[in-house]
Amino acid sequence: MGIRSTQDALTIARELDLDLVEVAPLAVPPVCRIMDYGKFRYEEAQKAKESRKKTTQVTIKEVKFRPKIGKGDFDTKVRHMREFLEEGHKVKVTLQFRGREVAHPELGSRILDSALEQLGPLARVETQARLEGRNMTMVLVPDKRSGKKATATDEPHPAAEAAPVGETGQHGGQ
């Protein structure tokens, strides 16, 4: 509509039953647009909602182990870790020590290493295992390079048989 005075622009907007919206206040002269402001805000909200749908929320799932974990429980927890990684979540692996168990962190390291070995190319270590008080934690992220290949050739059984969990001499006696 060209350059108009503010009063003329307001009159035109009222005649059309629309709003006069300042689009670029820093321009010389300021740029305004005649539009339905309520409809504009609604459409902007819909665009923002649509863009939020397309983003993926990466959450951190936590799996807790104990040094004296049994083979069946270990396999179940590793299977859950595999599912979380395939869904694209980060996995925080926590190994909790009680009492005098904290004097043997190598047992915890062995369990975390065997879990990592079973997950194979599906997981990549983001934060190495470290002892913090009575907990040993490690963070795993899905490996983007082999994520699709690992789901297609999912073979947990041979790796499960080779896991050194039974070598700790710690099952039973719980």
Q: Which residue has the higher pLDDT, 28 or 1?
A: 28
Please provide residue 121's backbone torsions phi and psi, each rounded to the nearest 5 degrees.
Answer: -75, -5
Provide CATH 3.10.20.80 ranges for the chain.
6-53
Nearest to 145 by CA among 120, 127, 168: 120
Q: Which residue has the higher pLDDT, 56 or 65?
A: 65
Residue 113, SS3? helix
Please write the tens of the pLDDT for every residue from 92-116. Answer: 999 999 888 888 888 888 888 888 8
> Cα–Cα distance between 116 and 145 in angstroms, integer?
17
Provide CATH 3.30.110.10 ranges for the chain.
60-166
Superfamily holding 6-53 = Translation initiation factor 3 (IF-3), N-terminal domain (3.10.20.80)
In contact, 160 and 58? CB cutoff 8 Å: no
Stated pTM of the model:
0.53
> Cα–Cα distance between 110 and 108 in angstroms, integer?
5
Q: What is the CATH number of domain 60-166?
A: 3.30.110.10
> Cα–Cα distance between 92 and 127 in angstroms, integer?
9
Average pLDDT over residues 44-52: 89
Tell me, what DSSP letter sits at residue 56?
A: P
In contact, 61 and 90? CB cutoff 8 Å: yes
Establish whether the linkage from the previous residue to 30 is cis, with ω within 30° of 0.
no
- Residue 42: per-residue pLDDT: 94
- Residue 109: per-residue pLDDT: 87
Average pLDDT over residues 8-28: 89
> Cα–Cα distance between 44 and 35 in angstroms, integer?
14
Cross-strand pairs, 64: 94
